[in-house]
Amino acid sequence: MKKRLLSLLVALCMAVTLLPVSAITAWAEGGGQLKIIDGYPEGSRDSNGTYTTSCSGDGWSYDGSTQTLDLHPASSTEYDFLLI
């Protein structure tokens, strides 16, 4: 009986590791995340196709008139912009 219980527990652990954790965490955090599309924040593109619309989210803001992105996290954070 112990072997069956242990094998059931191992099978359950293996099944849980197959879940898409990144999708679950994105859903749990909700909106406001910074998403870059074509080099500009999502939501900054206007109907003319230019990126002049100001937008903001949790810990960031984008000024469309000067096209500047300001990052202001609640705690100190290191950003790695190295392209692979």
Residue listed under structure tokens 């990126």: 51
- Looking at the domain assignment, is residue 79 inside a domain? no
In the predicted structure, residue 65 carries a pLDDT above the cut 70: yes
pTM of the model: 0.50
Kindly state the average pLDDT of the residues 70-78: 76
- Looking at the domain assignment, is residue 20 inside a domain? no
Judge whether 33 and 58 are in contact, CB under 8 Å.
yes
- Distance between CA atoms of residues 21 and 27, nearest Å: 10
What is the tally of structural domains in the chain? Answer: 1
18-56 pLDDT tens trace: 877 666 665 555 566 788 888 888 888 888 888 888 888
Domain that holds residue 66: 32-72
